[in-house]
Amino acid sequence: MSHCHDEHAGHGHGGHDHHEHDHSDDITPAIQHSLYQHINFDAINTMNEASPGSGKAIVKKTWAERLQEEPELASDADEQIIINVPFTGQVKLHSILLRSSPSAAAPRTLKVFLNREDVDFEAAEELAPAQAFELSQTSEVQELPVKRALFGKVQRLVLFFEDNFGADGDGEEEVTRLSYLGFKGEWMPLGRAPTNILYEAAPNPNDHALKGTGINQVGSGIGGRGGGEGA
């Protein structure tokens, strides 16, 4: 359990100190607040990934797999990466978890946008993010607490990794590498509106009969209030 101390240190740095735990502290807080099961994995979209599907693959890693080196997301044409992560409902985001490395390929600046589907690299450079983070060159999992007042109704996150630590050196490092990406927070169903949409997507014949749309076709008007004849 060599990560126990590091995990405690990470929580403390983010202002989210937990009560004293036994060695299960590595797992318990993450599992309690993990949004893993509420991510729409099939709809994750990554721009400028060298290997197709690698962005989705690092989000699909479970908390238990967070320290595994592979699969890894590496950028392609240059050092910038955009990852679109949609959720299956509405999320109150608490923090973003990521792991890179101590190398020059570690991302340095992360800008986060909310509930947008139109963010490409040009837009990401021009738009004001909901929050920006300066990241660390480390192989430890970094926990990035968000401003909760701004992240209370999240349905989609757009993560723009703008540069890496190679830019501080000789400028030769054009590949950004990430090996784990996760999220902590609270999930909520989307509420009444999506329920109505789903209801109309699978219409109830009796509902349409009551609305006067095809009463004669949807069962006869005789015994319409409860007759067993249509059964």
% of the chain at pLDDT higher than 90: 63
CA distance 48 to 83: 9
Q: What is the pLDDT of residues 155-210, one digit of tens each?
A: 999 999 999 999 765 556 789 999 999 999 999 887 644 444 444 455 554 544 44
Q: Is the dihedral of CA 120, 89, 31, 53 positive or negative?
A: negative
pLDDT at 146: 98
Instruction: Please answer whether residues 158 and 82 qualify as being in contact, where contact means their C-beta atoms are separated by less than 8 angstroms.
Output: yes
* Mean of the per-residue pLDDT values of the chain: 79
Q: CA 227, 230, 231 angle in degrees (round to 5)?
A: 100
pLDDT value at residue 29: 53
pLDDT tens sequence across 109-149 = 999 999 999 999 999 999 999 999 999 999 999 999 999 99
Res 4 pLDDT > 80: no
d(CA 160, CA 78): 13
Please state which of the ranges 2-11, 37-46, 139-148 shows the lowest mean pLDDT: 2-11
Q: What percentage of the chain has pLDDT greater than the value 70?
A: 67
Check residue 168 and give its pLDDT. Answer: 60
Name residue 97's beta-bridge partners.
143, 182
More confident position, 222 or 171: 171
